[in-house]
Structure 1
Amino acid sequence: MASQDLSSEVEVDAFRRIFPLRFFERHLSESLRPDARPLGKARDTTVNLGLVSSADGSALAKIGSTTMLAAIRMEVMTPSTESPDDGCLAVEFHMPPICSPIVRPGRPVEAAPVISKRLSDTILSSGMIDLKELCLVSGKAAWMAYLDIYCLDADGALFDAALLSAVAAFSNLEIPVVALNDNGRIVAITGEKEEQENNASITKKEAVNKEKRKLTLKNIPCSLTCILHKNYILADPTAEEESIMDTLVTVILDSSDQMVSFYKSGGNALAYSSSIKSCVELARKRVKELNQILGEMDID
């Protein structure tokens, strides 16, 4: 009996590898997926804060197996003449070979710069961060926030997990204490008494920000990626699902239910117009779930 069960499992696995689309469509016809999820349900999601001690803010986000580690490093820069009272944001998305068998050492991943650009556009266009909060001295000094996101496991819906990790990392961010020295330059204050005593040029001047502070986050963006296949809509796809069904839709909404942006790849836009409306409705439900997770971490 055990040998028959094993034989059956081998046959199913072989069928899945040889005819992946037919395998999935058999499940879809019963409104289920191979991982037993309903079509419109996202995977379990968790967020942990402050895992990178050397960063000014960090977070680990997991959606199913997809795992993202975000870290923020703050550096002082000279603001541009066009925006003398604004800081800046630089986003870099990394896909090391450890994240997926399809990522090869030494070869750039095409998806990485695309996701970097989308993350930057989303964070800035949503208004989540007021760049004026990053100003230190008008026209002379402001903060540059370097956001690096490392994909540790690429099992689908990469943008969704990356955006979630970025939002959580900014909620964890503590802007360092800095001061003006005698030469008019911005210098960091470490908080170590002995070190401050050895640097009189710092202690003579009052700190620009007297204590570490948090950013005020508004209109927090969250996203949901869906696959459109025939008459089916699959929310939060796995990497396997993405590899065999080529129409992807990503809906980005903010915490007040306003559309931030929308991305679609593959398929015919007109043919899927009604399905796209359904994706937006699924995204609204997903944003509520994510807001609840973020709310448990006291993210406004």
Structure 2
Amino acid sequence: ATPTVDPSRPSPPETLLARLLDKTLRRSAALDTESLCLLAGKTVWAIRCDLHILSHGGGLLDACCVAALAGLLHFRRPEVGVEGEKVTVYSAEERAPVPLSLLHLPFCVTFSVFGVRGGEEEVVLLDADRAEEGVREGAVTVGVNRHGEVCQIAKLGGREVDALELLRCVGVAEGRAKVLDELVRRRVGEEEKRRDGGTGKVLSAENAR
């Protein structure tokens, strides 16, 4: 893992990152929580998403959001059977695991704000690297899905951003979300085909015995 991130002692920026991810993913109802219920009021699936940061060259929040969504989209939970009050959890050999029910994929898109010409104007940069983030005067993060539904806008201190500039950021973020959505779904789909092919070979070998 990158030496700048210590999971045992989260720094204020890391705590803020976790909160923004929670706001973007959980509070936007990206995951259908009702689908996790097994017995009403008694038993549910608990879903936890851990992120391990291997390197940090900038755009950490956006990268973590993409990683979390790809992980949730790729994950398969065991199939279950419910008869009355009895819950049966089937192994992968008995029944194929099933995907989580994701209602939409909200992506974080972060813009860095810089002042120019004596502070009278501003430059807004998308996808800044770590060095650029170190000298920026503010940041705006937009959480949005491919349908243009804005889940959150985070502007925490720093340089003021004009309302029209903020609207432009939202428009750019919408386009970015469409690109990221297509990319994540395509790559996860490719991995699913590879994984399902491997699972099929294992099951065929078991049946041959």
Is the Cα–Cα contact under 8 Å of residues 126 and 219 in structure 1 kept in the other structure? Answer: no
Give the partner amino acid of 1:263: A
- The superposition leaves residues 224-270 of structure 1 with CA deviations (integer Å, 9 ceiling, x where unpaired) of 1111112211101111111111301111111210111011133343x
- Which of the residues 281, 287, 291 maps onto 2:171? 281
Alpha-carbon distance change, 104 to 129 in structure 1, aligned in 2, over 3 angstroms: closer
Contact 2:142–2:154 (CA under 8 A) maintained in structure 1? yes
Contact 1:228 1:275 in 2 (8 A): no
Describe how 1:1-300 pairs up with structure 2 within 5 A: 98-100=1-3, 102-103=4-5, 107-178=9-80, 186=87, 188-191=89-92, 211-230=96-115, 231-269=122-160, 271-297=161-187, 298=189
Equivalents in 2 of 1:284, 1:189: separation in Å? 40
- Please, what TM-score do these two structures have when normalized by structure 1? 0.54
Work out the CA distance in 1 between the residues paired with 2:169 and 2:155. 11
Contact map agreement 2:145 2:178 (CA 8 A) in 1: no
Task: Classify 1:127/1:108 alpha carbon distance in 2 versus 1 (closer, same or farther; 3 Å).
Answer: closer
Contact 1:226 1:279 in 2 (8 A): yes
Unaligned stretches of 5+ residues in structure 1: 1-97, 194-209
- Output the TM-score relative to the length of structure 2: 0.75
Q: Name the SS of the counterpart of 2:113 in structure 1.
A: strand
Matched residues, percent identical? 25
Provide the rounded CA distance (Å) in 1 between the counterparts of 2:154 and 2:130: 18
Q: Is the 8 A contact 1:246 1:265 kept in 2?
A: no
**Higher Cα Rg, which structure:** 1
Question: More strand by proportion, 1 or 2?
Answer: 1
CA contact (8 A) 1:223 1:250 kept: yes
Q: Tell me, in whole angstroms, the C-alpha distance in 2 between the residues paired with 1:222 and 1:191.
A: 31
Deviation at 1:185, TM superposition (A): 6.4
Q: 1:115–1:180: structure 2 CA closer, same or farther, 3 Å change rule?
A: same
Counterpart amino acid of 1:215? Answer: L
Amino acid at match of 1:136: L
Q: 1:212/1:126 Cα in 2 relative to 1: closer, same or farther (>3 Å)?
A: same
User: 3-state DSSP class of the match of 2:98?
Assistant: coil
Identify if the C-alpha distance between structure 1 residues 186 and 115 changes in structure 2 by more than 3 Å, giving closer, same or farther: farther
When residues 127 and 228 of structure 1 are mapped into structure 2, their CA distance, relative to the original with a 3 A threshold, is same
Show structure 2 runs of 5+ residues with no match.
116-121, 191-209
Superposed CA deviations along residues 19-47 of structure 1, whole A, max 9, x for unmatched, are xxxxxxxxxxxxxxxxxxxxxxxxxxxxx
